[in-house]
Chain A
């Protein structure tokens, strides 16, 4: 059985594009959201019950929708944003909506882990709320944030496989079309192998980065 390597490398490229861009936008949305989820809670820097309750509910709603359903449900929105509802670019929209709130939660958790004493010291030395966030909370949480982002990236790889359903392409799509629909076991095994290597590589890189950051 012949293996079409060009096809595989194209699928790999599509996966990389989808994951990278989704991650980028998801972090852009998730980071401020995660920070707000921390600082608006009771007793924190910008305590605000309404903002917190609203954001918290929105994140919960998005987090409770399975990706495959989210993808279909946001098709009109996707069309509005990228002009089409099929293709790699179109897959990125639901992936961002899926991953952004997830990243917000991960960031919230990392920030909450920071020793409250550090914030107290910051307040005692007269830091502004902004400085407390950027110079104390985030640097102290960065190592754990890195691990969170790694987990989110791996989650996005999984989501990108499903994105094949809207014609997003990518490795997952390839595995499904060849392996499941055409019984081409070889291609399926190869794509799965690549996915495993990617996830492994990402996790180790994330771990190493996280360790490095802890000391910098």
Chain B
């Protein structure tokens, strides 16, 4: 649906040039919700703005809906943009116009007949739950309501792609949740492909199917949310995952561990799916001559699948512990990784 091919974006600065995107290759499938995460300045906004040519790549190719955007004439590009909706962090609504006119704007630009405009806008108002606010002005709305207007506006022309640049970053957690729900609903009911930019891993966990980690203009990791969350390959991805999964060992526990000499006896076990951790541990305690001591653990949910994380200490003879490790390794289905030595 959206393809970035060798996309590089360089901003010409006064003293030096900034390479905001560095040879980015990325493919976003039709119907998926794809999240791009990265620190401030990583190039996220530059990337999403290249997807509708608000920013022209310095080199490379951007394809949306099988159209090579860079080869379109200005007129064709404007046409293409009607198929690409965009939602902004700061909503970017017209303060001088009512909610109704704001949502109608993309249709008014093409002189759509009045009755059609009215029908479509009312439909959208209903969809985003703002039917009673049609005649209000943006400054009479809360942030969440403004974003709903922004979303409704982006859908007016029935696009097949929706670009969201930090669509929830100006909102509180509750409102963020409801906006994310709305985006999910859009994806489900209209089968609209969504590219969402964020610096919050919570947003990715909440609604994305795929995630791409951007760092200094480069794609450092990309894959299904499940894979990246359960097995982050890069340190930066791991840090983002930790920020929402809380799989870091708490300081108090960590300090306790520091005092002990036999730190090599401590392991991290990650469970995925149905298999809960308890049966495995009790099996080990029963069948092997080791003491199992759970130091830290939590279970969260990832896209509807339980996802557990345990830090355990095995006490016993080295030989016996090695057998336990062997045993755990054999349970390939349930255990993704075992990390020795917390430090």
Contacts and interface: CB of A to CB of B under 8 A. Distances in A.
Contact of B92 (A115, A127, A128, A139): A115
B52 interface: yes
Interface in A114-138: 115, 117-118, 120-121, 123-128, 131, 135-136
A75 interface: no
B96 A126 contact: no
A124 B86 contact: yes
A125 B97 contact: no
B54 to A, nearest CB: 6
A143 interface: yes
Interface residues of A, number: 22
Interface string A102-122: 000000000000010110110
Interface in B133-161: 137, 153-154, 157
A129 B3 CA distance: 27
A166 interface: no
Interface in A61-117: 115, 117
A215 interface: yes
Interface stretch (B75-83, B196-204, B324-332): B75-83
Contacts of B84: 124
| Prevailing SS type, chain A contact patch | helix
Nearest to B110: A126
B73 to A, nearest CB: 13
A213 interface: yes
Given A126-B77, A135-B108, A214-B95, 5 more contacts: A118-B92, A120-B88, A125-B106, A126-B106, A131-B109
30 contacts: A117-B88, A117-B90, A117-B91, A118-B92, A118-B93, A118-B94, A120-B88, A120-B92, A121-B86, A121-B92, A121-B93, A121-B153, A123-B54, A124-B52, A124-B84, A124-B86, A125-B82, A125-B106, A125-B109, A125-B153, A126-B78, A126-B82, A126-B106, A135-B105, A139-B94, A140-B96, A143-B96, A214-B96, A215-B96, A215-B137
Interface of A: 115, 117-118, 120-121, 123-128, 131, 135-136, 139-140, 142-143, 213-216
